[in-house]
């Protein structure tokens, strides 16, 4: 049996060292496993090799990579060819351990199995191998099977080498004890690397699950915000990919790796996580008087009291001697019609809009000066100061304090995200997520950053956030805008320093808006677009 000389041992040690370095730097499990198998084959001069991985239920070993030089077979791994061989059961039909298959035996007992000639071995069942040899006109002889287990003894794979060849004669020989020790060392290194990758994957999965947990909480708190939390990262990635593929203009140098993409996607998912601290009645304030309920109903009740009082007063007047009933009825009808008209006006004022006219604000104040007798019998103003404040809101449904409370969500988002110990490859998540309300001219919030102080990713997310908000059809305080109107507003934003004009150009030129619209918007909102008419865009 051929033993190794000092030079060959030194070469193998060098291969082990090189593999250790590569295992530590590799992030692709498939390429890592293939490298392990190829190094093992090269170390032992084996003609073939197989790497098994345990199934999810730990009931069988699946062929992950299969290589045979003589037969020119390469399945799995980088070959792109599926592995056609069947799985090796770890347990028999009766539930007992399968000890007849050499790979299963090594897996169960954590022991290496070194067989000089499988045709002379009577311990294991090699019927499948014999059929393989007959079909392929091949002769399997020496086998070395080595299990790979993690630090807790859990099986992560089985490495199997076939037909070691004498380096001088090319004859098939048995795997030596030195071969076995080197492959066991390699398998141990490989198991550590695989375990390291699995732990990283589990931690990343846990992180994404925690992110989804936060979004579930926001979604349950406000279904309107939940939809926003799903669509903003989607639109962000669509625009970011378009920028990545741009080869001309100011953003031609922008490129993303897969790690960059994951970082941006995660930031998109978390961009509104601070809203979990915002009161529901502020987040979902559909009308100006809404708190836990819409207080317009209380105003309606007061009008009913005034209508009733007017009727009672009219009836009392009719009881007076010589009363003109017809005139009293006419006056009552006119008075009640005026009250109902004022009630309808306040109902309309209660609905937020793009801009309340000053004369309408003044009329609300005049109505508020009415006097009425409350439930306690005292005379009081028809509208309270808080109701006047809310009903005269010029834009939308939020008062200034409520708007500040809403805006505070971004400060909370930054505080929450900056409090986390982000790993190096995710360190930009707080900056990306926290910048989507900043403006290019420095007039945004919470930090008043300018374009030069913001990353491309944060500027991309700002456009995604605004466009989704404009087109969203599920907000309680507004209807979704038509696509053309949304683009017109966004175009003006690109001209007035609100959003990045270079990114806006890519957003239109690559028709990101249209792709997103057809996928996520109501078809009724998608009208005809003349790009030449979009402000801030030159076709």
The pLDDT of residue 475 is above 70: no
pLDDT band of 494, cuts 50, 70, 90: very high
pLDDT band of 474, cuts 50, 70, 90: low
Euclidean distance between CA atoms 137 and 71, whole angstroms? 9
Encoding tokens for residue 55?
Answer: 């199934």
The pLDDT value recorded for residue 145 is 95
The pLDDT value recorded for residue 225 is 60
The pLDDT of residue 500 is above 90: yes
pLDDT band of 517, cuts 50, 70, 90: very high
pLDDT band of 144, cuts 50, 70, 90: very high
Report DSSP letters for 20-81, one per residue.
Answer: HHHHHH---HHHHHHHHHHHHHHHHTEEEEEEEEE-TTSSEEEEEEEEETTTTEEEEGGG-P
Pairing of strands 73-76, 88-89: unpaired
More confident residue, 197 or 372: 372
Reported as type and span, the H/E element at residue 379 is strand 379-381
The pLDDT of residue 446 is above 60: yes
Reported as type and span, the H/E element at residue 373 is strand 371-373
Euclidean distance between CA atoms 168 and 191, whole angstroms? 32
Does residue 220 sit in helix, strand or coil? helix
The pLDDT of residue 529 is above 90: yes
CB 463 within 8 A of CB 242: no
> How far, CA to CA in Å, does 365 sit from each of 310, 359, 362, 389?
22, 10, 5, 9
Euclidean distance between CA atoms 538 and 446, whole angstroms? 32
The pLDDT value recorded for residue 5 is 57
Report DSSP letters for 400-442, one per residue.
Answer: HHHHHHHHHHHHHHHHHHHTS---GGGTTHHHHHHTTT--TBS
The domains of the chain, with CATH numbers, are 6-200 (3.30.450.40), 222-282+401-533 (1.10.3210.10), 296-397 (no CATH)
Cα angle 512-514-520, degrees, rounded to a multiple of 5: 100
Contacts of 118 (CB under 8 A, 6+ apart): 124, 126, 129, 140, 141, 142, 143
Does residue 389 sit in helix, strand or coil? helix
pLDDT in tens, 366-418: 999 988 888 888 888 999 999 999 999 998 888 888 888 877 888 889 999 99
CB 61 within 8 A of CB 158: yes
Instruction: Tell me the mean pLDDT in the region 199-226.
Output: 77
Encoding tokens for residue 482?
Answer: 């038509």
Burial 29-55 (b: 16+ CB within 10 A, else e): eeebbbbbbbbbbebbbbbbbbbbbbe
The pLDDT of residue 303 is above 80: yes
What is the value of pTM for the model shown? 0.67
The pLDDT value recorded for residue 223 is 62
pLDDT band of 139, cuts 50, 70, 90: very high
pLDDT band of 12, cuts 50, 70, 90: low
- Percent of the chain whose predicted confidence (pLDDT) is above 70: 93
The pLDDT value recorded for residue 345 is 94
CB 503 within 8 A of CB 463: yes
Instruction: Tell me the mean pLDDT in the region 254-279.
Output: 90
More confident residue, 451 or 403: 451
Does residue 154 sit in helix, strand or coil? coil
The pLDDT value recorded for residue 186 is 84
pLDDT band of 1, cuts 50, 70, 90: very low
Cβ neighbours of 207 (radius 10 Å): 15
- Percent of the chain whose predicted confidence (pLDDT) is above 90: 54
CB 284 within 8 A of CB 422: no
Instruction: Tell me the mean pLDDT in the region 239-243.
Output: 97
The pLDDT value recorded for residue 335 is 93
pLDDT in tens, 147-190: 998 877 889 899 999 999 988 888 999 999 988 988 898 888 77
pLDDT in tens, 304-338: 999 998 999 999 998 988 888 999 999 999 999 99
The pLDDT value recorded for residue 85 is 85
| Mean confidence (pLDDT) of the chain | 88
The pLDDT value recorded for residue 390 is 93
CB 383 within 8 A of CB 349: no
pLDDT band of 16, cuts 50, 70, 90: low
């Amino acid at each position: 049996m051929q033993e190794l000389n000092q030079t060959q041992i030194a070469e193998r040690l060098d291969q082990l060292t090189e593999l250790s370095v590569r295992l530590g730097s590799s992030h692709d499990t498939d390429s890592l496993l293939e490298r392990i198998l190829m190094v093992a084959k090269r170390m032992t001069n084996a003609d073939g090799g197989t790497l098994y991985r345990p199934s999810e239920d730990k009931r069988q070993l699946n062929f992950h990579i299969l290589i045979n030089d003589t037969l020119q077979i390469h399945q799995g791994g980088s070959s792109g060819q599926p592995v056609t061989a069947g799985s090796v059961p770890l347990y028999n039909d009766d539930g007992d351990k399968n000890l007849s298959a050499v790979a299963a035996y090594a897996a169960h007992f954590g022991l290496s199995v070194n067989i000089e000639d499988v045709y002379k071995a009577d311990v294991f069942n090699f019927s499948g191998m014999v059929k393989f040899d007959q079909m392929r006109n091949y002769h399997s002889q020496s086998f070395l099977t080595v299990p790979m287990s993690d630090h807790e003894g859990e099986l992560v794979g089985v490495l199997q080498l076939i037909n070691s060849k004498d380096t001088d004669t090319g004859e098939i020989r048995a795997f030596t004890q030195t071969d076995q020790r080197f492959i066991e060392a390699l398998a141990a290194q490989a198991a550590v690397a695989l375990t390291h990758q699995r732990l990283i994957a589990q931690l990343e999965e846990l992180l994404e699950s925690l992110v989804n947990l936060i979004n579930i909480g926001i979604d349950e708190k406000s279904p309107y915000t939940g939809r926003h939390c799903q669509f903003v990262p989607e639109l962000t990635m669509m625009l970011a990919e378009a920028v990545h593929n741009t080869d001309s203009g100011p953003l031609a140098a922008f490129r993303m790796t897969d790690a960059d993409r994951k970082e941006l996607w995660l930031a998109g998912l978390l961009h509104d996580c601070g809203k979990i601290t915002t009161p529901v009645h502020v987040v979902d304030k559909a009308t100006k008087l809404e708190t836990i309920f819409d207080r317009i109903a209380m105003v309606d009740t007061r009008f009913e009291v005034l209508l009733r009082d007017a009727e009672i007063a009219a009836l009392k007047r009719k009881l007076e001697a010589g009363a003109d009933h017809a005139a009293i009825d006419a006056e009552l009808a006119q008075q009640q019609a005026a009250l109902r008209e004022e009630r309808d006006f306040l109902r309309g004022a209660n609905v937020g809009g793009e801009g309340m006219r000053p004369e309408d604000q003044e009329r609300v104040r005049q109505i508020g000066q009415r006097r009425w007798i409350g439930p306690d019998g005292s005379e009081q103003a028809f509208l309270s100061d808080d109701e006047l404040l809310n009903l005269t809101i010029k834009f939308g449904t939020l008062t200034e304090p409520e708007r500040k409370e809403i805006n505070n969500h971004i400060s909370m988002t930054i505080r929450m995200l900056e409090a986390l110990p982000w790993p190096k490859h995710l360190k930009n998540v707080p900056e990306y997520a926290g910048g989507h309300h900043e403006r290019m001219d420095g007039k945004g919030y919470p930090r008043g950053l300018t374009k030069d102080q913001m990353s491309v990713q944060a500027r991309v997310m700002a456009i995604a956030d605004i466009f989704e908000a404009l087109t969203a059809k599920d907000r309680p305080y507004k209807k979704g805008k038509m696509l053309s109107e949304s683009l017109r507003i966004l175009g003006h934003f690109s001209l007035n320093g609100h959003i990045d004009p270079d990114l806006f150009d890519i957003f239109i030129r690559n028709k990101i808006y249209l792709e997103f619209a057809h996928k996520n918007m109501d078809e009724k909102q998608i009208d005809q677009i003349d790009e030449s008419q979009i402000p801030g865009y030159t076709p």
